[in-house]
Chains A and B, each alone.
Chain A
Amino acid sequence: MAPFIQWLEGTAGSIAIRESILLYPVIETTHVLTLCLFLGMIAMLDLRLLGIGLRGVPVSEVAGRLLPWALSGFVIMAISGALLFYSGPVRASNNIFFKVKMAMILLTGVNALSFHFTIYRRVADWDRDPTPPLRARAAGFFSLVLWCGVVICGRLQAYNWFDQARG
Chain B
Amino acid sequence: MDLLPLFQWLEATAIGTLVRESLWMFPVIQCGHLLALAMLGGSVLVVDLRLLGLGLRDQPIESLGSKVHPWLVGSLAAIVATGLPMFLSEALKCYYSPPFWYKMTLLAAAAVFALTVRKRVLAGPCAPLWRGLTAVTSMALWFGVGFSGRWIAFY
The reply to whether A152 and B151 form a contact with Cβ atoms under 8 Å apart is: no
Partner of A56, one of B45, B67, B150: B67
Binding stretch for chain A, among B3-11, B34-42, B115-123? B34-42
Q: Once A and B bind, how many residue pairs between them come within 8 Å at the CB atom?
A: 91
Whether A36 touches B35, Cβ cut-off 8 Å, given contacts A54-B67, A155-B30, is: no
Partner of A43, one of B30, B31, B38: B38
Whether A37 touches B150, Cβ cut-off 8 Å, given contacts A65-B56, A66-B56, is: no
Task: Tell whether A61 is near chain B: CB-to-CB under 8 Å.
Answer: yes
Which residues of B17-36 have CB atoms within 8 Å of chain A's CB atoms? Answer: 23, 27, 30-31, 34-35
The reply to whether B38 and A151 form a contact with Cβ atoms under 8 Å apart is: yes
Task: Tell whether A69 is near chain B: CB-to-CB under 8 Å.
Answer: yes
Main secondary structure of the interface of B (DSSP, over half): helix
Return chain A residues, CB-CB under 8 Å to B42: 36, 39-41, 43-44
Task: Tell whether A117 is near chain B: CB-to-CB under 8 Å.
Answer: no
Task: Tell whether B71 is near chain A: CB-to-CB under 8 Å.
Answer: yes
**Least Cβ distance of A166 to chain B in Å?**
18
In the assembled complex, the Cα of A44 lies from the Cα of B134 at a distance in Å of 22
Task: Tell whether B83 is near chain A: CB-to-CB under 8 Å.
Answer: no
The reply to whether B154 and A25 form a contact with Cβ atoms under 8 Å apart is: yes
In the assembled complex, the Cα of A36 lies from the Cα of B41 at a distance in Å of 4
Whether A35 touches B34, Cβ cut-off 8 Å, given contacts A40-B43, A61-B58, is: yes
**Least Cβ distance of B30 to chain A in Å?**
6
Return chain B residues, CB-CB under 8 Å to A37: 41, 45
Size range of the interface on A? Answer: 20 to 34
Against B, the Cβ 8 Å flags (1 = close, 0 = not) of A21-61 are: 00001001100110111111101100100000111110001
Task: Tell whether A123 is near chain B: CB-to-CB under 8 Å.
Answer: no
The reply to whether A151 and B56 form a contact with Cβ atoms under 8 Å apart is: no
The reply to whether B49 and A69 form a contact with Cβ atoms under 8 Å apart is: yes
User: How many residues from B make CB contacts under 8 Å with A?
Assistant: 33
Whether A40 touches B34, Cβ cut-off 8 Å, given contacts A54-B67, A62-B56, is: no
**Least Cβ distance of B61 to chain A in Å?**
13
Which residues of A59-107 have CB atoms within 8 Å of chain B's CB atoms? Answer: 61-62, 65-66, 69
Binding site for B on A (CB under 8 A): 25, 28-29, 32-33, 35-41, 43-44, 47, 53-57, 61-62, 65-66, 69, 148, 151-152, 155-156, 159, 161
Binding site for A on B (CB under 8 A): 23, 27, 30-31, 34-35, 37-46, 49, 55-59, 63-64, 67-68, 71, 143, 146-147, 150-151, 154
A-B contact pairs, 9 of them (CB 8 A): A25-B150, A35-B38, A36-B42, A36-B44, A37-B41, A47-B71, A57-B56, A151-B31, A152-B35
